[in-house]
Amino acid sequence: MTGAITGYIDVAQMTLYAFWIFFFGLIFYLRREDKREGYPLVSERSRSVTVQGLPEVPAPKSFLLHDGSVVLAPRAEEKENPKLRPADNFMGAPMIPTGNPMVDGVGPAAYAMRSPHPDMMFDGSGPRLAPLRADPLFFLSPEDPDPRGMAVYGTDRVRAGTVSDVWVDRSEYIVRYLEVAVDTAAGPRPALVPMTLVQLDAKQRAIRVRSITAAQFAEVPALASPDVVTLREEDRIMGYYGGGQLYATPRRTEPLI
């Protein structure tokens, strides 16, 4: 019969077509949703150029967080002006820091603008991280070395200060940071050191940190509250030590060969 389609299209073929349409729609939806964070991209050619690709960035949607707050995504972000300059006059040229990259958040020292509030316990009873002085229920095992009172040395083997307290994760029961009373001209100032970046020598009662020099401990991002560390402060602290792996000494920025 002229115009008939039932003679060569069966249920299996229609099911395959339906699957293709569904799968294409799923990819389109997921690709669109993953642009809620980080888009549009910043163009190297001009700040007025919008780089978002296909599909476009979706309209803002409200997300209700566990603490009752509401966040829009996407949302207006602050314009960043990193202290960098291109090494040469062509697109894609490597960037050279113009200030202190460890403080300015450049390269491995970059950090996310996370919440200015601390990470909370699951039951909302308080901050997840706390120094031992703020929670008498937590203590160090007598079988393990107590780092409090140990001297802290930078990668240059110069003394930077003394461990004054230990910050614990009250949810996972592990040590997260050591608090160091850093020796400065104006007197001791507290600075947190991630426990994962220290080498503890119990016999010598010494703490060694390869990430930064002794003098650079004075510029470790400070806390707004002495017994509370926010998510944003954690990111800045980790970024500072991460940046030290590349920028702490001039030799680290040079090639191995």
Predicted pLDDT of residue 184: 85
Q: Integer distance in angstroms from the first to the last C-alpha of the chain?
A: 78
Domain assignment of residue 172, given as a range? 109-253
Same domain, 115 and 198: yes
Q: Is residue 212 part of a domain?
A: yes
Predicted pLDDT of residue 140: 93
Same domain, 71 and 113: no
Q: pTM (2 decimals)? A: 0.81
Q: Is residue 85 part of a domain?
A: no
Same domain, 162 and 35: no
Same domain, 29 and 114: no
Same domain, 160 and 219: yes
Hey, what long-range contacts does 24-27 have (CB within 8 A, 24 or more apart)?
A: none
Same domain, 242 and 120: yes
pLDDT in tens, 28-74: 999 999 999 888 887 777 777 888 888 899 999 999 987 788 989 98
Predicted pLDDT of residue 60: 92
Task: Name beta bridge partners: 193.
Answer: 178
The candidate with the shortest Cα–Cα distance to 106, out of 87, 88, 86, 83, is: 83
Q: Is residue 102 part of a domain?
A: no
| φ/ψ bin of 157: left (φ > 0), alpha (ψ from -120 to 50), beta (otherwise) | left
Q: Is residue 36 part of a domain?
A: yes
Q: Is residue 6 part of a domain?
A: yes
Predicted pLDDT of residue 83: 87
Q: Which residues of the chain have pLDDT under 50?
A: none
Q: Is residue 96 part of a domain?
A: no
Same domain, 195 and 122: yes
Same domain, 69 and 126: no
Q: What is the CATH number of the domain that holds 162?
A: 3.90.50.10
Predicted pLDDT of residue 229: 96
Predicted pLDDT of residue 175: 95
Q: What is the 3-state secondary structure (H, E, C) of 41-94?
A: ECCCCCCCCCECCCCCCCCCEEEECCCCCEEEECCCCCCCCCCEEECCCCCCCC
Q: Is residue 171 part of a domain?
A: yes
What's the burial of 82, exposed, middle or buried (CB within 10 Å: 0-12/13-18/19+)? middle
Q: What is the CATH number of the domain that holds 30?
A: 4.10.540.10
Same domain, 40 and 119: no
Same domain, 121 and 209: yes
What is the domain count for the chain? Answer: 2
Q: Is residue 13 part of a domain?
A: yes
